[in-house]
């Protein structure tokens, strides 16, 4: 995959086997990604799924960067995203109905809901802001966009900002993900995979 694209970071290849199993089992066709960076996960989805069927892919990112990013580099990051997605779509066997949402995730998710996309998506990947309040907001809004039977993936479940023992509790995805899963427990099932990421399946609206 990396031979065709330009990536400066690799935070994804180690989870590709898990994603391959998910894609094979659930065969998603309508996809939503929150937090796209250079497009590595989005290109993986295109490469794996658009070779067998038409897919719809929405990518949400402000490309402003978080506190863990060098904000002066984000323009180049977005340019690599655009280039990588164009390459993936060009070599895809089937059509990729793609939409880029350059916006804060809360704004973009709310717009999708108001435009009738409730329970529209088969798979939603949440990898945007790592601050707990933002992660919780993304999860609650995205869950309304996920169809019953669809899969939601949270990235960086065990990620923390700061040295061990000095982590900022509110700058970690895990507290928000745990709160969301506990509150929505009767509407989802967890999919057993390694806990670098957390995978769940929506069972009820």
User: Of all residues in the chain, what percent carry a pLDDT higher than 70?
Assistant: 98
d(CA 177, CA 157): 7
Enumerate the β-bridge partners of residue 33.
59, 125
User: Of all residues in the chain, what percent carry a pLDDT higher than 90?
Assistant: 84
Is residue 68 very low, low, confident or very high in pLDDT (cuts 50, 70, 90)? low
Is residue 195 very low, low, confident or very high in pLDDT (cuts 50, 70, 90)? confident
pLDDT of residue 93: 97
Q: Radius of gyration (Cα) for the chain, nearest Å?
A: 16
Long-range pairs of 177-181 with CB within 8 A, sequence gap ≥ 24: 177/135, 177/139, 179/136, 180/136, 180/139, 180/140, 180/143
- Per-residue pLDDT, averaged over 105-132, amounts to 97
Is the pLDDT confidence value at 194 over 90?
no
Is the pLDDT confidence value at 187 over 60?
yes
Q: What is the DSSP string of 65-79?
A: --TTS-GGGHHHHHH
Name the fold adopted by 13-202: Rossmann fold (3.40.50)
For strands 121-126 and 30-34, give the pairing.
Answer: parallel
Q: What is the mean pLDDT of the chain?
A: 94
The domain locations on the chain are 13-202
Is the pLDDT confidence value at 118 over 60?
yes
Is residue 161 very low, low, confident or very high in pLDDT (cuts 50, 70, 90)? confident
């Amino acid at each position: 995959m990396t031979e065709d694209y330009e990536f400066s970071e690799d935070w994804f290849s180690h989870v590709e086997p898990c994603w391959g199993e998910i894609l094979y089992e659930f065969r998603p066709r309508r996809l939503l990604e929150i937090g796209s960076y250079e497009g590595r996960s989005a290109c993986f989805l295109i490469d794996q799924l658009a070779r067998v069927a038409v897919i719809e892919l929405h990518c949400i990112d402000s490309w402003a960067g978080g506190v863990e990013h060098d904000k002066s580099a984000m323009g180049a990051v977005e340019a690599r995203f655009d280039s990588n997605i164009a390459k993936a779509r060009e070599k895809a066997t089937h059509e990729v109905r793609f939409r880029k949402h350059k916006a804060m995730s809360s704004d973009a998710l709310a717009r999708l809901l108001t435009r009738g996309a409730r329970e529209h998506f088969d798979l939603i990947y949440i990898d945007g802001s790592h601050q707990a309040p933002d992660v919780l907001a993304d999860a609650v809004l995205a869950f309304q966009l996920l169809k019953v039977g669809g899969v939601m993936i949270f990235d960086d479940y065990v990620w923390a900002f700061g040295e061990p023992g000095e982590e900022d509790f509110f700058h970690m995805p895990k507290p928000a993900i745990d709160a969301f899963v506990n509150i929505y427990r009767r509407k989802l099932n967890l999919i057993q995979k390694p806990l670098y990421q957390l995978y769940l399946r929506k069972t009820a609206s």
